[in-house]
């Protein structure tokens, strides 16, 4: 990634969504199937179908189908109706993660008035002054 005028938070690439008609029709059809599956699931709970072993498996399968259908709806929506955006992020240098100043990159002299801070920093590198 080049740093030619890019600052933190700038949009590096923006491609608008395709918004195809076929995807919209697919989402509508999958939503209708979702509504039917949810209706059957709620009806099966109210009617007590889960009282038998087969009924319990059937209600579980209905719930699984509900989530699989919802996953297809969300995947299709994300692919066809959300824009593709890349945002520039600032890379930090390793010494910045230790809360060091730029003049401390090569280390600091042991001893002097900052001896206790140096000991604290050696034991706990994320110690703030």
Residues 6 or more apart from 60 whose CB is under 8 A from it?
Answer: none
Q: What is the pLDDT of residue 1?
A: 44
Give tens-digit pLDDT for 69-127. 999 999 999 998 888 777 776 666 665 556 666 666 666 565 665 677 777 777 766 66
For 37, other C-beta atoms within 10 Å of its C-beta total 19
**Which token pair is 38?**
């949810």
Mean pLDDT of 61-76: 97
Residues 6 or more apart from 67 whose CB is under 8 A from it?
Answer: none
With beta carbons less than 8 A apart as the criterion, state whether 36 and 50 touch: no
The percent helix, strand, coil of the chain (3-state, each to 5) is: 60, 5, 30
């Amino acid at each position: 990634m080049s740093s030619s005028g890019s600052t933190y938070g700038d949009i590096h690439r923006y491609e608008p969504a395709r918004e195809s008609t076929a995807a919209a029709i697919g989402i509508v059809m999958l939503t209708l199937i979702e509504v039917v599956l949810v209706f059957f699931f709620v009806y099966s709970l109210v009617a007590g179908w889960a009282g038998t072993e087969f009924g319990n498996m059937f209600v579980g399968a209905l719930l699984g189908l509900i989530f699989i259908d919802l996953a297809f709806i969300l995947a299709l929506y994300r692919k066809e109706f959300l824009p593709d955006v890349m945002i520039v992020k600032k890379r930090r240098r390793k010494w910045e993660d230790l809360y060091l100043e730029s003049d401390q990159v090569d280390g600091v002299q042991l001893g002097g008035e900052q001896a206790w801070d140096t000991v604290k920093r050696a034991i706990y590198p994320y110690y703030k002054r």
